Structure formats: C-alpha cells, structure tokens
Amino acid sequence: MNYIERTYPWLLLSPVILPVVMWSGVIYPYLVPKTLLFYTLSLVAFGIFGILVAHGRAFYWSRLARWETWIPGMLLALAYVSSAQGLDFYRSFWSLFIRGDGLLMLTCAVGSFYLILLSADRKFFERLVQSAAVVGSFVAIYGIGEWIIGGGRIGSLLGNAAFFAGYLGISFFATMYAAQKLRPSWQYGAYSGAVLQIIAIILTATRGTILALVVAGVVTLVYLAVKGEGRKRIWSGGAIVTLVVIGGIFFSFRDQLKTIPFEPVARIASISLSDGTVSSRLFIWKNMVAEIEKKSWLGVGAEHIDTLFNRFYDPSQIYEEWFDRSHNAFLDYAAQYGIAGALLYMALIGTFFTAAMRLMRRERRIAGIFILLAIAYAIQNFFVFDTISSFWLMMALLASLLAVSLKDTHLEVLPLPTWTRGASWIFAAILFYLIIPVAIRPAIAAYDLAHAYIYILTDVPKEVRFLSHGFAQGTYGDLEYGYQVYDMYVNIQTSVLTGNAHVDAYQAALSILSKNFDRYTYDGRTALYLAHVLSLAPERVTIDHSLLSAALARSIETSPKRSQSWYILANLSINNANIYQPGTKERIAGYAAARDILRKYIALVPTLSAPYFVLAQLLYASGMEKDALTEASLGKEYYTEDLETAHRAADLYVNLKDWQNARFFLSEVVKLSPKDYVSLYDLAKVTYLNGDPAAADALVVELRTQDQAILGTDQNFMNAITAYEQSKK
C-alpha cells in the first residue's frame, strides 16, 4: 500500500506528458494516442483513488466546501443532462477519433480535477508547473525546428497550428511561474523556455493566441505603470508608448505588410472584415447564435455542433467544407449545453481569479501570473478551442491553484467500514478492465484504419480485411471509418482501380456507409458520402436507387446548401437521359430536369459562382450556346478565387471560343496552381488566339525552362509561335 501511495501523486501528474505522445501507426497520430492514453491514465487513477480512500488514506475533503470547487462538477452534470435529451447520447459520450472531446473526456478531465484538488499540496503544485514548463519548452523547440525545416504554419507535436498555439498559451504562464521558484542558475533556463514558447506561438501565425498574449502583456504593463514603483513604472509607461507607436506604424503599412513572405505578420496585417477567414468566422458565429436560440436551455448535447453548422452552411460564405466546432469555445459550450453551459464555462475560467485573489496578499507575483493566464485563456478560446493537452493542463493548474490558495484546509480520513477495502479492489479491477473498450479496442481500430490506407491500390482484399477487422471492434470509430473509406474510394480508388478490385473497394465503402446511414440518421455528411459512393458504382454493379434517393433526400434536408447533393441529382438525371438517343423526347426531358435541379440550387445560393458554370456547361451540351454564355457571365460576376471553378470556367470558354474569358480563367488556374504546366500551355494558346502573340511567346519561353516536353503536344501552335519569333528578328 505504501508503494501505491508513493506512486499516486505521480500518476495524477502523468497527463502532463500528453503533448509529446505520438504514434504514427494510427489514424490522426497527433490526437488519438493522446486521448487514449489520457483515458487509460484516468481509469487507473480513479481505481487507485478508490483503493486509497477505502484503506484510510487522508485527503483534503474540506476543500469541497468551497463553492468554486463545484463548478466543474456542475458543468459535467449539465453536460450529461443535455446529452441525454440531445440528438444521440452514444456519440455525445464517445465523440470521434479525430476529436475525443465527448462526455468521456470531460468526465476524465473533471475527475482528474477533483483528484488533484483533494490531494495537491505545495510540492505537487511546484512539480506540476515545472513539468509543464519542461514539456512546453520541448514542444516549442520541436515546433521551431519544424518551421526551420519546412516553413509555413507549424503544428509541432499537436498536429495543428491552433492546437499548438492554444497549448503553449497555457504552458507559457506555467513556465513563467516555475521560473519564480527556481535557483538563479535554473531561472535562465526557464525564461529561455518561455521565450522559445513565445517564438513558437508567433510562428504558428495563430492570431487568437497572439492577440491573447498581447492583451495579457498590455494588462501587465498598465498595472506596473499604475501600481509599480520607481523604474518599473517608468519602464512600463515607456513600453506602453512604444507599443502604441509600433501599433500605429503597423496599421499605417498594413497593405504592404500583407504581402511579405512571413506568415505571422502577413496574417495579422490581413485582419479585416473583408478578410476571407474573418468574414467566414463572423458568418458562422452569427448563425450559430441563431441556432443556439432555438435550444437555448439545454442545447443539442455534446459533440453535435456539426449538425447546427450543416443547417446554415453556405459555400458562398464559408471556406471550410465540414466543421464540428464554431472556432469559439463559448459558443461551443452554449450550443452543446445551453446558455447555462456557457455561463458555467465562464465561471470555470473565473475561478482562476477568485483563487488568485486569495493568494494576492501572500504571493502577489504568482497570483498575477495566474490572473494573466485566465485572461489569455479566455481571449484565445474566443477564437479557438481546446484539445485534451490544453484542457487537462488548464484544469490541473486550476485545481492545484485552488489547493494552494485554500490554506485553511486539513487532511481527513473518511470513516468507512472494513468491508469497503475488498470492494475497492473489485471497483479498481472493473475500472482497469474498462481500459479494453475505452482505449485498447479504439487503438486497434485506429491502427487498422491507418493500415487500410496502405493497401488501397496495391492489395484491395487486404485493405478490406483491415477495414472489416477494425470496424468489427465495435468502437466509436464507426463514423470515422465511413468518412475515411469515402475518401479512399471516391478520391483515390475510383480513378485507378478496375475489375474485381474496383468492385471490392466499392462494396467495402458501401457496407460501412450504409450501416452508418441507418445508425446515425442525423448525420448529413454520412448521407452525402453514401449518395456519392452509390453514384460512382462500377459499371457491372446494380445500384440500389431507393437507397440513393433516401441518401440524397437526407443530405439535402440536413444541409440544403451543399452543392454536392444537387450535382449528384443533376448527374443522375443526365445519366438516365444518356441512355436514350440524342434528340429523343426522353433525352431532352432528362437534360431539362437536370437544368431545373441546378436552377433550384442557384436560387438557394445566388452568389456562388460554381453552379452557374455547371449549368452553363449543361446548356452548352444541350446546344444552347447563347444561354450558356448568359449563365457563364453570371458565374464570372460572382467568381472569387477557386481552382476548381476556374478550371471549369476555362474549359467552358475554350469550348465557346471566347478567348478573352478563357485567358482570364486560365490565368487564375496558373496563379492558384503554378506547377500546372498543362494549363500554362493552354494559357499560352488562348493568349495567342486572343491577339497577344508577345505574351503567348513569353509563356512559351517560360515553359521551355519548366517543361520542354509539353511543347511538342501541339505542333501547329508551336509553328505559329516560331513564325512570330522569326518575324521579330
């Protein structure tokens, strides 16, 4: 028992290593291993806690008398109530592989909070912040190295720039606190780690976290300028003036700074209401608020934000295709658990302030650091959301801060009967057994899914065996399997596989998506993916048209403005019409029905460019060139940079022999895809046909240095260019 008692505090501390946990053998190696390990550690900790309580170990039970300590429990209870009456408790509890933010994770995080609260003393607190400082500094060094090697926005060991920045936005303050208690020789190392974390945050170009740290810095300077003494007040005032001047210069030269090849500065300079990302976020927040108002008391339950997003998704307003978060943690809590959920989440953050205020007289500097942490966390989570790495660290720091601030608490032993000692071992054994369905089986399923990708083209039967074995584990990864098998089949296999391999791949995708379609009746993504797979069935396979119709109907019902469902409907009408000979009434009627479908969709999203060009292509194929030009002109009017739309428009205008517009859209293709030398060659041709041989010749000269072989694919054009070049001599 003594060994268990000595090990227990380290077990509570062990999730601090989550950010550095990776396993490339699973799908989403940056998040899945972290989540599964956290579940395992939590179950073990809960079991050992029960054993220790039953065997007379003393804990700080009196701390639970403080009202602040019940906020996490109240939030967890509300989450269960909301999810029980929500869309699907099963998914609310388990979440997805890629996210892992369901009730299970919240239960483990809140449970960890209380275990730390009941056990933590000053020694534990120091160990926690020092461990967080070391791990955060290592993750920052890894991310900086990633940037040096590859550039761009970095995700380090968390796989995503926003996740990485959000985690460092918490660990930075833990590092600053740790430095206060170290010997001078170690303080330099801690401060160096804090600087590295700031550098890494800047390199992520995550504007929310950068803004949060700037605000925290300004608050610090204002406080020192008002309350500081001597040089501190002078230096702080000077720093504020300097920041104001730098901010003014930055604002004055925003247009120039947008174009510099350093993404952190360019992204910050591009912030405006017209910026694509900003306008998209504002559109999402506005419509998310409207959806929250419909179920403002209890929300839709955990992990169902995507259903709200799908209802108002508009491709003319939102760049991202699928969202399961609103990129605002406060709105996410309100959507899932109602207004009370958002208020409890705010209260949870506010507890940092109440705990820090109790420490203010005794340890002013440390209290100030945690007040700044709360400010930064609240601001950054207004723009992003947590992963288990950041959420656990925040909860652990809060629990240990509360423990340190409550100096009037004392250790107590619960007076339990002797028989509970044996029962506690049974309780622990049950929890340890739950590791199998909670962590081990999902790990196997994730492993199988990752390995199915390896064989999608080289050995389809082996791919199917991996998929079948992983899906049969009966885990919460079934939805994820559907999403991934769709990607395998539609985006990779259909264009390459033939014969039995194609049929086997199709049947595997159809089987998984059909099961998910029956199970998750609210999931529009599954419905759309199933419809798309059915529409791409191999030639010798008979399509279940009733299932296809049901999938399309559900897809349009759950997300009416998604273009794919309408395009599939139109293509089905065209395919049915193509069975008949040109000029027959059946073929004419089929094409007319397809045009009507596209016009209905255009009425839903009148400012989206792509469907106008799709309709124009159909009109051109029907021999209606004048009408095709009319629709295409509307498509050009609403066009914004988009590679697929530019390709479609360029092809249409080439067919219509409208060389001026063809040149414009081919220029767009080349701008968005600079290594597309086929399109660059096409641009040279239409430029020549548009009456600008000099510009066409310049493009040919460029192609001679980039892809000489492609010039031989059109000898007539090269003869014309050669003649032009000779005429200049």
Provide DSSP, 639-669: --S-HHHHHHHHHHHHHTT-HHHHHHHHHHH
Q: Are 135 and 171 in contact (CB under 8 A)?
A: yes
pLDDT recorded at residue 63: 93
Site of tokens 């460029």: 702
Q: Last residue of a domain, which of 359, 375, 405?
A: 405
Q: Does residue 245 share a domain with residue 351?
A: no
Residues 233, 299, single domain; the answer is no
Last residue of a domain, one of 356, 386, 405: 405
- Residue 445, pLDDT > 80, answer yes
Out of 226, 241, 271, pick the residue that ends a domain.
271
Q: How confident is the model at residue 515 (pLDDT cuts 50, 70, 90)?
A: very high
**185 CB-near residues (< 8 Å, 6+ apart):** none
Same domain (yes/no): 150, 211: no
Nearest partner of 141 among 126, 154, 128, judged by Cα: 154
Reported as a pLDDT band with limits 50, 70 and 90, residue 227 is confident
Three-class secondary structure of residue 599 per DSSP = helix
Per-residue tokens: 294: 């419909």
Residue with tokens 């639970």: 64
48 within 8 A of 4, measured Cβ to Cβ:
yes
Shared-domain flag, residues 11 and 79:
yes
pLDDT at 494 over 90: yes
Query: In whole angstroms, what is the distance from residue 538 CA to residue 549 CA?
Result: 18
Looking up tokens 């291993």 gives 33
**pLDDT, tens only, 335-364:** 999 999 999 999 999 999 999 999 887 888
- DSSP state at residue 412: B
Residues 678-719 pLDDT 10s = 999 999 999 999 989 899 889 988 888 888 888 888 888 888
- Residue 202 falls within a domain, yes or no? yes
The answer as to whether 389 is a domain residue is yes
The SS3 call for residue 30 is coil
- Asked if residue 407 has pLDDT above 80, the reply is no
Mean pLDDT of all residues in 363-383: 93
Q: Of 22, 23, 25, whose CA–CA distance to 451 is shortest? A: 25
Does residue 200 lie within any of the structural domains? yes
Question: In the chain, helix, strand, coil percent, each to 5?
Answer: 75, 0, 25
CA distance 134 to 131: 5
DSSP string, 273-306: TTSHHHHHHHHHHHHHHHHHHHTTTT-S-TT-HH
Question: For the chain, what is the mean pLDDT?
Answer: 92
The answer to whether the CB of 157 falls within 8 A of the CB of 354 is no
Residues 201 and 224 in one domain: no
Residue with tokens 């601030």: 405
Whether 15 and 152 map to the same domain: the answer is yes
The number of distinct structural domains making up the chain is 2
What amino acid occupies position 713? T
Cα(611)–Cα(425) distance, integer angstroms: 64
On whether both 215 and 249 belong to a single domain, the answer is: yes
Q: Is residue 719 part of a domain?
A: no
Segment 232-242 shows an average pLDDT of 80
What are 318's two structure tokens? 């939102």
Number of H helices, E strands in the chain: 34, 0
Higher local confidence (pLDDT), 375 or 253? 375
* Lowest model confidence (mean pLDDT) among 323-327, 343-347, 453-457: 323-327
Report if residue 665 sits inside a domain: no
Name the CA radius of gyration of the chain, rounded: 30
CA dihedral 122, 128, 130, 135 (to 10 degrees): 180
Is the CB of residue 535 less than 8 Å from the CB of residue 572? yes
> Can you give the pTM of this predicted structure?
0.92
Indicate if 182 and 235 belong to the same structural domain.
Answer: no
Q: Which of 306, 245, 317 is nearest to 274 (CA)?
A: 317
| Inter-CA distances, 324 with 141, 284, 313, 430, 611, Å | 30, 12, 12, 33, 26
Position 292 in a domain: yes
**Using 50, 70 and 90 to split pLDDT, how confident is the model at 41?**
very high
What is the DSSP code string of 299-362? -S-TT-HHHHHHHH--TTT---S--SS-S-HHHHHHHHHHHHHHHHHHHHHHHHHHHHHHHTTT
Domain interval for residue 337? 2-206+272-405
Q: Name residues whose C-beta falls within 8 Å of residue 61's C-beta, 6 or more positions apart in sequence.
A: 118, 412, 414
Residue 60 has pLDDT above 80, yes or no: yes
pLDDT class of 7 with cuts at 50, 70, 90: very high
Q: Give yes or no for a contact between 185 and 163, defined as CB atoms under 8 angstroms apart.
A: no
pLDDT for residue 729 is more than 70 = no
Bridge partners (DSSP) of residue 59 are 412
CB atoms within 10 A of CB 37: 19
Assigned domain for 254 exists: yes
What are all long-range contacts of 659-665, with beta carbons under 8 Å and residues at least 24 apart?
659/686, 659/689, 659/690, 659/691, 660/690, 661/632, 661/636, 662/686, 662/690, 663/687, 663/690, 664/636
pLDDT confidence tier of residue 267, bands split at 50, 70 and 90: confident
Terminal Cα distance for the chain, rounded: 96
Asked if pLDDT for residue 160 goes beyond 80, the answer is: yes
Considering the domain architecture, whether residues 53 and 130 belong to the same structural domain is answered as: yes
Do both 115 and 15 map to the same domain?
A: yes
Residues 295 and 160 in one domain: yes
Q: Say yes or no: 132 and 13 in one domain.
A: yes
Q: For residue 408, what pLDDT band results from cuts at 50, 70 and 90?
A: low
CA distance 494 to 502: 7
How far is 609 from 620, CA to CA, in rounded Å? Answer: 17
Could you give the 3-state DSSP secondary structure of residue 459? coil
Q: Does residue 478 lie in a domain region?
A: no
Print burial letters for 508-541: b (CB count within 10 Å at least 16), e (below 16).
Answer: bbbebbbebbeebebbbbbbbbbbbbbbbbbeee
Higher pLDDT, 460 or 277: 460
